Structure 1
């Protein structure tokens, strides 16, 4: 695996015992002296490694010999729901979340060492603009800067942990048919997909010479 192999294997075994999925952060070792990846390991309810996400947008410090950037998004499926992953400063890159929306994910699992207020604003915006869930995790010792939680596809927090340095869980039901998310999931998301393609606007264009006169008031 990478990182602390023994710890990751122990977590994988526990996933198999409890029949749960888990996404676990770690540093993935590379060969030939290359810097490690900053990664998220996705473990199945059978204790198997499904896939690994390697952070693609690194900070200036990370790029200075700490880590090697990843190259692609990852998608995995749990009970017909599709998920992607993102890490820390990637909250500031809207293209990460736009790409996942185009790839048809239902949610993005986001991990960060602290979720600063402007990270929270960005994550809520990404969730609302792309009509996806964002599940944000952070260590308890950084909860005072912004605790873990689940953001709904409407951009609002569906659940949050307490902003205290104590272990806690944020739990929310992901339901595409939830009436509370009818507008973002059943109306806004499909409409925005059509709007981005542009055909619905080209069909409404009028061939009027006046529309080409930019000096007309």
Structure 2
């Protein structure tokens, strides 16, 4: 299965953001790509950047975002491609929105939505309402999980998805600085997952969008430039390069975490409980 991560410019103009997303989807379709990941806030804009103040949510053009989402979903249906797109999600008037990833299906529907659960201090204080649960979905026999931005700093997000049986985590962020890149490689290698991370074009210089294999190695990255681009990789469970990760390390670690293999080998000998002698 071919997937891609995108670097599109993110602007205050929702219509312009939608047009940039559609251009990437059209180009990806020409390469038979089945799923494209876009960054945090790719459609709506991101807090503190395109949305400059918390009180701007009251003037946010929700109708424009809804219209663009429908148009992008229709294009996905026409092209037979899935898209994961960052955007704010409206709650009631008294609550700040979710910071979300929308999953649009190849049939032109909204398949599901992930709401960012682990927020920064600034986000949870002024900008966003946290989500409550992990989200998984399947395409072409592969299971995907979703994560956003600072969640790269929470190992439990990725270990939870590993326990839920996902093959890959799709990660959208408004910037992927070096320490995010290091963390994502570690999560991929420790949990034997593919991780596909998208970032805005204007943030590519600090760390480009890219796809990491289940061995923790980077497969492909976008250029570190502000030009719109995307990078492609093929998910293949039978790739010999990932035999150790997927058929040996991952099932062994899952078994080891249960602990039975260690309890079976424990020796009931008083000497083993003596910690003060050689």
TM exceeding 0.5: yes
Q: Secondary structure at the match of 1:15?
A: helix
Query: Is residue 2:232 matched to residue 1:193?
Result: no
CA distance in 2, matches of 1:201, 1:216: 23
CA distance in 2, matches of 1:47, 1:198: 44
Q: Secondary structure at the match of 2:96?
A: coil
Query: Is residue 2:242 matched to residue 1:181?
Result: yes
In structure 2, the residue matched to 1:206 is 267
The partner residue of 1:52 within 113, 116, 123 is 113
How many aligned residue pairs are there? Answer: 217
In structure 2, the residue matched to 1:88 is 149
CA distance in 2, matches of 1:199, 1:175: 31
| Superposed structure 1 runs of 4+ greater than 6 Å apart | none
Give the TM-score normalised by structure 1.
Answer: 0.98
Aligned partners of 1:2 and 1:27 also within 8 Å: no
In structure 2, the residue matched to 1:152 is 213
| Greater RCO (Cα-Cα under 8 Å, separation 6 or more) | 2
Task: Give the C-alpha shift of residue 215 in structure 1.
Answer: 0.6
CA deviations over 1:175-216 (Å, ceiling 9, x no partner)? 111100000000000000010000000111111111000111
CA distance in 2, matches of 1:3, 1:33: 21
Q: Secondary structure at the match of 1:170?
A: strand
CA distance in 2, matches of 1:2, 1:61: 26
For residues 198 and 36 of structure 1, do their structure 2 counterparts lie closer, same or farther at Cα, with a shift above 3 Å needed?
A: same
Aligned runs of 1:58-69 on 2, under 5 Å? 58-69=119-130
Task: Give the C-alpha shift of residue 32 in structure 1.
Answer: 4.1
Task: Give the C-alpha shift of residue 95 in structure 1.
Answer: 0.4
CA distance in 2, matches of 1:118, 1:11: 32
Task: Give the C-alpha shift of residue 2 in structure 1.
Answer: 7.8
For residues 200 and 2 of structure 1, do their structure 2 counterparts lie closer, same or farther at Cα, with a shift above 3 Å needed?
A: farther
Aligned partners of 1:154 and 1:181 also within 8 Å: yes
Give ranges in structure 1 of 5+ residues lacking alignment.
none
| C-alpha RMSD over aligned residues | 1.1
